[in-house]
Amino acid sequence: RCGRKRWLSSSGKLRRANRRATFAPMTDPTIPASTLDVIRDSTFRRLGPYRWVKASRVGDPTRHLLVMRDDRETTVVTREADLEDLDVLAENPDRWELLAIDCASPFYCVGFVAQISGALTKAGLDILFTSTFSRDWVFVKQAQAEHASEVLTAIGIQKRE
C-alpha cells in the first residue's frame, strides 16, 4: 500500500530494513486468501496503558474497559486512575498497552485472529487477546508496544493515529 517492500524471513521472524518492519504474507494453507485481503483492509491504533486486576467489588462498571465474570473470579481491565473504584484482590504487576484492531469483516474471517496472534508470537511478544462485537483488542506489555505496532503494520494492518 505504501510502496515499501515487506517480508518475513523463512523462519517467520520479522526482519528490519532501515529500522522499518517489513514482511511477506505468511504462507499458511489453512488461512484463506480472503483473510489476507481483510487484514490489509483493517486498521489499528494504540490506546494506552491498562491494568489487569482481580476484584471482589466493582463500583461503577462503566468506568472500566472490561469487566469479566466467571465462576471463579471477576477480572477488570482498567486505567490506573480508575483502580480506586475497585476492591482489588490481586493485580498483574505489568502495564499492558491496548492495541485496538478494527477488522474490516468482523465475525466472518477465518484465520484473522490466528494470523495476528501468530505474527506477534513469532516476534516473541507476550499477548492477551479479546474481542468485542466489532473490535479485536490485543494487549502487549507496555515496553513492547512499539514493536507490536511494527509487527501489525508489517503483516498489512494499517495504523491509525
Residues 84-136 pLDDT 10s = 999 999 999 999 999 999 988 878 888 899 999 999 999 999 999 999 888 99
pLDDT, tens digit (0-9, with 9 covering 90-100), for 15-45: 443 334 444 445 566 777 888 889 999 999 9
Does residue 145 register a pLDDT over 90? yes
Predicted pLDDT of residue 21: 44
Give φ, ψ of 16 to 5 degrees.
Answer: -120, 140
Query: pTM for this one?
Result: 0.77
Write down the number of H helices and E strands in the chain. Answer: 3, 10
pLDDT given for residue 7 in this prediction: 33
- What pLDDT is stored for residue 88 in this prediction? 98
User: Residue 86: how many CA atoms within 13 Å on its side-chain side?
Assistant: 26
| Whole-number pLDDT of residue 109 | 84
User: How many other CB atoms sit within 10 Å of the CB of residue 63?
Assistant: 17
